[in-house]
Amino acid sequence: MRHRRLGRTALKVSEICLGTMNFGPNTVEADSFKLLDHALDNDINFVDTADQYGGPLGVGATESIIGGWLAQGAGRREKVVLATKLYEPMSDRPNDRGLSARHIRLACDASLRRLQTDHIDVYQMHHIDRTAPWDEVWQAMEILVAQGKISYVGSSNFAGWTVAQANEAAASRHFLGLVSEQSLYNLVERTIELEVIPACEAYGVGVLPWSPLAGGLLAGVLSADEVGRRASQHMHERVAQLRPQLEAWERLCSELGESSATVGIAWLLHQPAVTAPVVGPRTVEQLNDALRAPSVRLTEDVLRRLDEIFPGPGPAPEAYAW
């Protein structure tokens, strides 16, 4: 497993980031511990979560599972670059959400308690808060950095212009600003190529693609049980809509002698500004598909064929201006 700098920082993270949204709702604690240990044993040092993850177990449940794993010691905390997020509602109280200075402070302290650690390496805003002035957001983040509670600040689901606005506001305060942006990005969903990726390239912000396999569409869905009786109606509709492309996709992966999941993640690692796709395995077997991806080199011909199967939007403004 190779490691890359996270954006313009000197921080080194693995080319695969272990996403943990399934921990708790779909993967019990014992199996979550096994996944975390397996990731660490294979040089994945980047773990991503969010305060809101937990599903029916309740908000904070996933962070608590990770905290229990870290509490086992044996250098786990020292070996891991730990990222979490804030913004989503944590209760029905009006101030228990968003990016107010008050919520940033309280949310960080609550995450630290659940994670059983004294610092968060990458503290990410899960969404833009249109009611929070950037001076308020950055002042709160600066205090957390000064207190040693966080090291870097990242964003998630930001538009290109908000990445630029956030970093310009931070620069005016002589603060580092955003170092990462976690966005929906895969061969099927390439909208961020219009403006988010160019903005991230310009500001030295590392892109962390979430849903790298499009919710399973790029994981060999045509030959798997995912399209069987257990699959959602939405999945059936998406497969029907994209069947010609998916058939061409799976044929190409078969030609390459690689699993569809491996090639889908490998493609992201060939894209500009991408630091590490965020994979969310439920099992060790699924994680193993991701572990192989960094070693897969796609030729220019293969990349061209993938663009033909799943065309990107093209650069902005040309894509929509003429």
**Catalytic residue from among 53, 87, 185, 203:** 53
| 185 tagged catalytic | no
In the chain the first and final C-alpha atoms are separated, in Å, by 42
Active site residues: 53
